[in-house]
Amino acid sequence: MIIAILLGLQIGAVPPSVVSARAGTLESVVPLVETSAGRVLRLDRLAPALPITVRAEGPGEFLVSLFDVAMRLSDQVPYARVGTTLIPLGGAPLMDRGALLVPLQLVSEVLPRLVPSRLSYDPVRSELRVLRGATAATPTPAARSRTKRRVVVDAGHGGPDNGMTGPIGSRQKIREKDITLAVSMELAKALRREGIEVIMTRTTDTLIGLYDRGPIANERGGDLFLSIHVNAANLRWRRPGDARGYETYFLAEAKTEDERRVERMENEAIRFETTVQAPKNDPLSFIIHDMAQNEHLRESQELAAAIQAGLGRVHPGPSRGVKQAGFVVLTTAFMPAVLVEIGFGTNVAEARYLATPARQREIADAIAHATMAYLEGYERRLGSAGR
């Protein structure tokens, strides 16, 4: 009896001897090799189930391509490089007769975080799964330039997450989630009138997780992601009720205290979520997402500038400019993505403005027109780049 129990414990503790990649019924099984630096495997052997290629670029230097992400690994260096970001590895990659061996952690942790909408790792089966519909790289807007444009409209907050409420010093309250939904519905209408296909992350008063909004956009093949929000003044400001105006964000590291304030405020919504896919306080996951987004950074910035200028034609408040911050909702959308703060709900006049249906339509039309202008410019840029 005792022997059986001990045996059972021992079996339970035996580490896996293989790791596999699976895409539907296609499976690649790769043996794990025990080394003094821990368990390693040949990364290229995860193909063909995993759409990965490993190419030697120089002595001890390797370029790994996975979906649309390029990662560099060096022999004996315990970091992976994606763009200019260093991702710490559980151990250093090794070379064995010209082949690259990597620590298991690269497969179990780093790769799924690099492309969270396309990969997940099952530690029980030591299996890296290619998620359905993810076997081919997501077509880029360029690849789809001849087909109908798809814009994702994301109404901020919803359900138990009211977002901000305001204004300060008034008994009549507005809730951010109602304003964002009303404006987003109008925005969808305006874009559809222009022949755009619109995907909405929500059309009712429901809670959609911040980490789920981007994947919804990715799975539905969005070309652009527009997230609509209402700003709130910091109560510690000298006259918080006076703050007014509109600003448009693209995803990048927040540089100013004000950008960090809006970043904190919008990322707060995570506390309403019972299951959050990516841990909130995981700087690594943010950096990786950010890098995956980088290719869209310039385009996101262009789109933000177009929207900010467009709003300037209708909005009574001052322009607070194009800004940048690390919004969770933008990190998982692999397309040009912006977050628009359409005004301050904490200001009495602006709250009234934002709650007026005719004004909501104006705001939506301005964002829609700016989006169309951006798309035309984008198409022209693609056209001239192709010649």
Q: Residues in the site for Zn ion, rule: CB under 5 A?
A: 156, 163, 229, 266
Strands 61-66 and 69-74: antiparallel
Q: Closer to Zn ion at the Cβ: 127 or 161?
A: 161
> Rounded to an integer, what distance in angstroms lies between the CA atom of residue 331 and that of residue 285?
10
Contact (CB, 8 A) for 327 and 269: no
Q: Closer to Zn ion at the Cβ: 232 or 292?
A: 232
Contact (CB, 8 A) for 248 and 339: yes
Q: Closer to Zn ion at the Cβ: 127 or 154?
A: 154
Residue 161 Cβ vs Zn ion, minimum distance, rounded to whole Å: 9
Residue 173 Cβ vs Zn ion, minimum distance, rounded to whole Å: 15
Residue 218 Cβ vs Zn ion, minimum distance, rounded to whole Å: 21
Residue 207 Cβ vs Zn ion, minimum distance, rounded to whole Å: 13
Q: Closer to Zn ion at the Cβ: 151 or 262?
A: 262
Strands 174-175 and 33-35: unpaired
Q: Closer to Zn ion at the Cβ: 141 or 163?
A: 163
> Rounded to an integer, what distance in angstroms lies between the CA atom of residue 261 and that of residue 382?
36
Q: Closer to Zn ion at the Cβ: 91 or 156?
A: 156
Residue 176 Cβ vs Zn ion, minimum distance, rounded to whole Å: 5
Residue 289 Cβ vs Zn ion, minimum distance, rounded to whole Å: 19
- The letter for the amino acid at 363 is I
Q: Enumerate residues 6+ apart whose C-beta is below 8 A from 270.
A: 209, 210, 211, 276, 280, 328
- Sequence-ordered strand ranges (E) for 67-106: 69-74, 79-82, 85-88, 94-96, 99-103
> Rounded to an integer, what distance in angstroms lies between the CA atom of residue 235 and that of residue 103?
48
Would you tell me how many other CB atoms lie within 10 Å of the CB of residue 272? 16
Residue 272 Cβ vs Zn ion, minimum distance, rounded to whole Å: 12
Q: Closer to Zn ion at the Cβ: 156 or 310?
A: 156
By beta carbon distance, the residue nearest Zn ion is 229
**Sheet containing 61-66, strands listed edge to edge, beginning at the edge strand earlier in sequence:** 52-58, 61-66, 69-74, 79-82, 85-88
Q: Closer to Zn ion at the Cβ: 156 or 222?
A: 156
Residue 230 Cβ vs Zn ion, minimum distance, rounded to whole Å: 6
Placement of tokens 């990597």 in the chain:
102
Q: Closer to Zn ion at the Cβ: 116 or 156?
A: 156
Q: Nearest CA to 229 among 267, 279, 188, 272?
A: 267
Distances from the Cα of 375 to the Cαs of 262, 303, 369, 380, in angstroms? 27, 8, 10, 9
Residue 364 Cβ vs Zn ion, minimum distance, rounded to whole Å: 17
Q: Closer to Zn ion at the Cβ: 292 or 351?
A: 351
Residue 374: alpha-carbon gap to chain centroid: 21
> Rounded to an integer, what distance in angstroms lies between the CA atom of residue 278 and that of residue 210?
10
Residue 302 Cβ vs Zn ion, minimum distance, rounded to whole Å: 23
Q: What phi and psi values does residue 275 have, to the nearest 5 degrees?
A: -125, 115
